[in-house]
């Protein structure tokens, strides 16, 4: 095993330490390179840059492996609940029975949000995007819990902030939905587990008790688990970057929510359904749309296809495809966009353009179809992704704090004008 890398710049050589992870991932540590050589490394989009050492999530994009704290995603999706996975990600181990009971009870105690915050929901225009609302509401929580602002919180205080955020997020998300359809909000109820409580606040009515189908609870658990963490993606790196300035948890997560909103990231689940709808309304000719996606002069991309790191398959897509079939069968829904999705997937998987570029359906290709079957409007999909990703963001923020990581501050290569003299406005050409 190599212990160091040697970089030769002209006649001078530099020894750079090698870092090896527990899954045998290898890195060259260049953190001192600029000090000793004057050079930085350049890697636009951080495609080959490790920003941290992390013990939370491991993924292998070539082999399609995803593990949280060492547990394969397939086992977690099949056997655990979202809350168990949240505990695992945040605290490092699967909870024992009494730990899980306490975690659930602690969360139940904090699901209410300050009554004054209800006015915030009223302030948004009725058609405003739920992701903008979510980001604003999450950062607003910091005003109600100013004790969270200190970068020097004790472990106990930090943990209480984490519990509050996990608890209140489900309430905030369901109230955003209720407001969007003009229905009265439903308060949380401690008799329910986390996911059932969320579904009750979202689909429940003040006029009558509703029955929540266990298939729906199970599908929701699966979706949230599959989205719970994905190591250093755009939104998670944002959370860590913002948190690295000693910024409080609420503000760091709100920044992550904004990063997730983009259609190249979490916003893809909304974009997928909008694309499938468009193809359906256009007559369902999938070949025509595949051709558009391949055309370099056309901006259109097949949404839900391709991934920055998965280059053979997305293991979450496999699990979700099955969950999708289960939900549609159980609820007796036949969705024409599912047929379009299947045709599109089939055609793309055999098309040399997609095969050569290793473009496969990602987790978002099917998640939207399930959310739709459960009754969520399209613009809520990315909000549900955020609800699922919350424990991962929290775990990453906590790890970054505990490791006392330095403030994030990338460098650049300047390529602009040099040495221009100021000219008075009347003399400018
Ligand atoms: N449709 C058509 N062509 C595509 C697609 C696509 N969905 N994705 C990538 N390509 C092509 C690119 O045009 C490029 O072609 P070229 O080599 O001829 O120039 C090549 O494949 C590589 O694409 P990049 O954009 O360089 O790949 P990158 O790793 O930077 O991007 C990304 C990954 C952003 C996910 C991209 O595949 C994409 O835009 N997909 C659609 C959006 C999407 O589904 N996002 C969700 C990601 S999963 C998540 O966030 C949970």
In a domain, 351, yes or no: yes
Report the alpha-carbon distance of residue 296 to residue 137 in Å, rounded.
40
Tell the residue nearest (CA) to atom 28 of ligand 1: 308
Both 233 and 281 in one domain: the answer is no
Half-sphere exposure of 114 (CA within 13 A, CB side): 14
Banded model confidence at residue 339, pLDDT cuts 50, 70, 90: confident
Q: Enumerate residues 6+ apart whose C-beta is below 8 A from 329.
A: none
Shared domain for 253 and 297, answered yes or no, is no
pLDDT tens for 294-313 read 999 999 999 999 888 888 88
Q: Exactly one of 227, 307, 314, 351 is catalytic; which is it?
A: 307
Structure tokens at 255: 């920044």
Q: For ligand 1, atom 31, name the residue with the nearest CA.
A: 308
Residue 318 vs residue 166, higher pLDDT: 166
Give yes or no: residues 98 and 243 share one domain.
yes
Same-domain check for residues 147 and 249: yes
Q: What is the pLDDT of residue 270?
A: 86
Query: What confidence category does residue 134 fall into, taking pLDDT thresholds of 50, 70 and 90?
Result: very high
DSSP annotation of 283: T
- Residues of the domain holding 370: 268-374
Which of 229, 314, 351, 364 is labelled catalytic? 364
Rg (CA), the chain: 23
Q: Is 170 among the domain residues? A: yes
Here the CATH number for the domain that contains residue 16 is 2.20.28
Tokens of 416: 């602009």
User: What is the value of pTM for the model shown?
Assistant: 0.91
The pLDDT of 161-186, averaged and rounded, is 96
- Average pLDDT (48-63) is 95
Q: Within 13 Å, how many C-alpha atoms sit on residue 282's CB side? A: 12
Residue in 234, 266, 306 to alter for ligand 1 test, most ligand atoms within 8 A of Cβ: 306
Centroid of ligand 1 to alpha carbon of 56 (angstroms): 26
Instruction: Name the residue with higher pLDDT: 411 or 362.
Output: 411
Give the pLDDT score at 232. 97
Which protein residues are within 6 Å of ligand 1, measured from CB?
264-266, 268, 293, 301-308, 357, 359, 362-364
How close is the Cα of 305 to the center of ligand 1, in Å? 7
Phi, psi of 283 (to 5 degrees): 110, -5
Q: Is the pLDDT of residue 395 over 80?
A: yes
Same domain, 235 and 102: yes
The number of the ligand 1 atom at minimal distance from the alpha carbon of 301 is: 1
Task: Look up residue 293 and give its DSSP letter.
Answer: H
For position 324, which CATH number holds?
Answer: 1.10.230.10
Local confidence band at 341 (pLDDT 50, 70, 90 cut-offs): confident
For ligand 1, the distance from its centroid to the CA atom of residue 118, given in whole angstroms, is 40
Query: In this model, does residue 209 exceed pLDDT 80?
Result: yes
Over the stretch 354-379, which tens digit does the pLDDT of each residue have?
A: 999 989 888 888 888 889 888 899 99
Same domain for 116 and 254, yes or no, is: yes
H/E stretch holding 27 reads strand 26-28
- Structure confidence at residue 360 (pLDDT): 87
Where are the alpha helices (H) located in 296-417, listed in sequence order? 315-331, 336-350, 352-356, 363-374, 381-402
Residue bearing tokens 């260049």: 30
Q: What pLDDT is recorded for position 172?
A: 98
Q: How far is the CA of 365 from the centre of ligand 1 (A)?
A: 13
45 & 164 share domain: no
Cα–Cα distance between 178 and 138 in angstroms, integer?
Answer: 17
d(CA 361, CA 304): 6
- Give the pairing type, strands 65-68 and 71-72: antiparallel
Q: Is 285 known to be catalytic?
A: no
Residue 356 counted as domain residue: yes
Q: Which residue has the higher pLDDT, 323 or 184?
A: 184
Q: Is residue 29 domain-shared with residue 125, that is, in the same domain?
A: no
What's the pLDDT at 107?
97
155 and 285 inside one domain: no
Q: Which of 374, 399, 417 is the last residue of a domain?
A: 374
Same domain, 29 and 147: no
């Amino acid at each position: 095993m190599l212990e160091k890398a040697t970089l030769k710049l002209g006649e001078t050589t530099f020894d750079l330490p090698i870092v090896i992870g527990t899954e045998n991932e290898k890195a060259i540590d260049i953190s001192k390179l600029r000090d000793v050589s004057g050079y930085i490394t350049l890697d636009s989009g951080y495609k080959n840059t490790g920003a941290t050492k992390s013990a939370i999530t491991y993924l292998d994009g070539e082999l399609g492996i995803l593990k949280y704290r060492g547990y394969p995603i397939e086992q977690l999706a099949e056997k655990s609940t979202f809350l168990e996975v949240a505990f695992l990600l945040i605290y490092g181990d699967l909870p024992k029975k009494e730990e899980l009971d306490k975690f659930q009870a602690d969360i139940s105690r904090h699901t209410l949000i300050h009554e004054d915050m209800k006015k915030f929901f009223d302030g948004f225009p009725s058609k405003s995007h739920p992701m903008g609302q979510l980001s604003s509401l999450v950062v607003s929580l910091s005003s109600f819990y100013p004790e969270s602002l200190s970068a020097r919180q004790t472990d106990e205080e930090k943990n209480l902030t984490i519990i509050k955020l996990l608890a209140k997020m489900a309430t905030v998300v369901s109230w955003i939905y209720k407001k969007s359809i003009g229905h009265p909000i439903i308060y949380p109820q401690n008799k329910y587990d986390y996911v059932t409580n969320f579904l009750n606040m979202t689909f429940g009515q003040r006029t009558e008790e509703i029955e929540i189908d266990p298939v729906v609870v199970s599908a929701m658990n699966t979706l949230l688990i599959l989205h719970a963490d994905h190591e250093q993606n755009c939104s998670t790196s944002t959370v860590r970057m913002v948190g690295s300035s000693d910024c409080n948890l609420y503000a760091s997560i709100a920044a992550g929510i904004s990063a997730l909103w983009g259609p190249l990231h979490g916003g893809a689940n909304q974009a997928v359904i909008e694309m499938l709808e468009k193809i359906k309304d256009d007559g369902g000719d999938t070949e025509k749309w595949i051709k558009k996606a391949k055309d370099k002069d056309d901006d259109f991309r097949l949404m839900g296809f391709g991934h920055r790191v998965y280059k053979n398959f997305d293991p979450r897509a496999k699990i979700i495809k099955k969950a999708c079939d289960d939900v549609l069968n159980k609820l007796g829904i036949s969705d024409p966009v599912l047929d379009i999705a299947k045709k599109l997937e089939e055609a793309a998987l055999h098309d040399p353009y997609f095969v050569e570029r290793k473009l496969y359906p990602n987790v978002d290709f099917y998640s939207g179809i399930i959310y739709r079957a459960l009754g969520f409007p399209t613009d809520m999909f990315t909000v549900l992704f955020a609800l699922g990703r919350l424990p991962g963001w929290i775990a990453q923020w906590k790890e970054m704090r505990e490791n006392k990581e330095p403030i994030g501050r990338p460098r650049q290569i300047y390529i602009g004008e040099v040495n221009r003299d100021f000219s008075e406005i009347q003399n400018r050409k």
